[in-house]
Amino acid sequence: MKIFIIISLLLVAPVSVAEVDAETGLIIADGYKVVKKTCTRCHSASNIIQYSGTRLTWLGLIRWMQNTQDLEEFEADKEKQILDYLETNYGPKEAAYRRAHIPSFLMPPNPYRSLATIKFVGLKDHYKLDETLTVDLVIADFPAYSKGRFDLWAAIHLPNKPDDEFVFLKGTASEPLFNSLKPQSFQVSLETVNSTYSVLKNFTIPSVEIGKYVFYAILVEKSANPLTGTDITRSNLAVQTITVGD
């Protein structure tokens, strides 16, 4: 049985499983020798293996070590080799290493960029069927240097629905529309301001389904789709669960 499992794993495994250096654990690929020689003097390679980021993230980290940790400066060509290696083999986790069928807006945001914080305010944990609820979204800590405009998305996962099915909020708090399964933004083209947005006001919970309702919200770049886009989120994903019952 065990052997059978191993064989089937081998059959479905991706063609190129990266080979790693036995001594350091670094992925063996173009540039790995220069990285091994340059980057494992002060700390082990596990620092590198656990880290991930874009080329800019890596460059920023190298500059930080050069400015504060006595890392020497590199010739342009050597720096390029190092960055090529890091970018290719330890690039951002988001797109490359996660299961593709999970919507990207359910994944943790890229930790190497500052993001606004967003949260639901006003929800209780538990509601009765014909009770009314009022909920706001509060956006705060918007990074001062952020430019551009943003879209706010809000969606609800209803009880007994497939994991990847959401209803998307549209309309206004007093006249909400959320019967659409089609991904769409809730508020468009917001400026970079910290604000409170009314999501639902005195909304009467319809007597359809009891169970768990999960509210989601996220801020993304204008016109971007958080279900398909990568690197477009501009806030954390706000998640709040309520239960509706007797």
**Which parts of this chain interact with ligand HEC (CB under 6 A)?**
38-39, 41-43, 47-48, 51, 61-62, 65, 69-71, 82, 86
**Cβ neighbours for 199, distance < 8 A, ≥ 6 positions apart:** 120, 135, 136, 137, 154, 169, 173, 176, 186, 217
Least distance from ligand HEC to the Cβ atom of residue 125, Å: 36
Nearer to ligand HEC, 42 or 96 (CB): 42
- 186-214 core/surface letters (b: 16 or more CB in 10 A; e: else): bbeebebeeeebebbbebebeeeebeebe
Cβ closer to ligand HEC: 78 or 124?
78
Closest contact distance (angstroms) between CB of 55 and ligand HEC is 12
Specify the residue, 61 or 107, whose C-beta has the smaller distance to ligand HEC.
61
Q: How far is the CB of 19 from ligand HEC (least distance, A)?
A: 19
Choice between 47 and 132, CB closer to ligand HEC? 47
CB 233: neighbour CB atoms within 10 A?
25
Integer CA distances (angstroms), 144 to 14, 126, 174, in order: 43, 37, 31
Task: State the Cα–Cα distance between residues 104 and 208, nearest whole angstrom.
Answer: 29
Task: Return the half-sphere exposure (C-beta side, CA atoms, 13 A cut-off) of residue 121.
Answer: 12
Q: 49 or 129: whose CB is closer to ligand HEC?
A: 49
Q: How far is the CB of 114 from ligand HEC (least distance, A)?
A: 15
Q: How far is the CB of 129 from ligand HEC (least distance, A)?
A: 49
